[in-house]
Amino acid sequence: MKRSRVNEIMDAADEFIRSFGFVLPPFAYWTPDEFRTRRDVARRVIEARMGWDITDYGQGDFDKLGLFLFTLRNGSLEDLKRGGGMCYAEKLLISRQDQLSPCHTHVIKAEDIINRGGATLAVKLNGSDDQGRFAEDRGGVVRCDGIERPFGPGEVLLLKPGESVTLMPGDWHAFWGEGGDVLIGEVSTVNDDLTDNVFVTEIGRFADINEDVRPKHLLVSDYDTWLS
């Protein structure tokens, strides 16, 4: 992805988020230079990889295969392992109309995916085989707003604004905006996007950035290079 395109997506996403009454935290609006100056006090933000995350999964077609995310807060795997402390995470996502977030599951993370506003959120579900691998012929059971709901293999849930689904490790899922763009909330256990995303097909988690212009704000995938 070109950095200029990333900057455009950031501006459009911020406007879309604000249209629903949500405002991103102050560090979202720091310039790269401000982030460098404040990196010591922002150590927790950097270590937890909180912030902007815009991906085309390395495929170069964001409008068809992509996702906008902003990690608002994130706990630590150490706390999760010992069973106490900050064991949770929260994100805002934007799934555009017919923009696919490809089928995947998580080894550790359980998550609530919540339609916070906009159009309908379509979530395609599959179960796992006995080794936890994607099973095209298996369904399962999820909870929608706390109510158990069986699903068949490849079934698509249609979540209207205010509705949610709870996904556990082994629940394979893909999603997109149906009929328009959707603002999504994600509340989960600790998030680790470096190691805890398992895709059905071999695919990258982050975008490869073409630095045609200077970044307006840093992506979480920029931290290692821009803030080292």
- pLDDT tens across 81-119, in order? 999 999 999 999 999 999 999 999 999 999 999 999 999
pLDDT of residue 38: 97
Mean pLDDT of 62-82: 96
Please give the Cα distance from 177 to 159 (Å, whole number). 10
pLDDT of residue 210: 96
- Give the residue numbers spanning the domain of 152: 3-226
- Of 93, 99, 107, whose CA–CA distance to 175 is shortest? 99
pLDDT higher than 90, residue 228: no
Q: Which residues contact 180 (CB under 8 A, 6 or more apart)?
A: 97, 118, 119, 120
Strand 172-189 versus strand 88-95 pairing type: antiparallel
- Of 25, 93, 11, whose CA–CA distance to 53 is shortest? 93
Overall number of domains in the chain = 1
pLDDT of residue 185: 98
CATH number where 209 lies: 2.60.120.10
**227 touches 35 (CB < 8 A):** yes
Strand 172-189 versus strand 134-135 pairing type: unpaired
Neighbours of 80 (CB within 10 A): 19
Helix, coil or strand: residue 171: coil
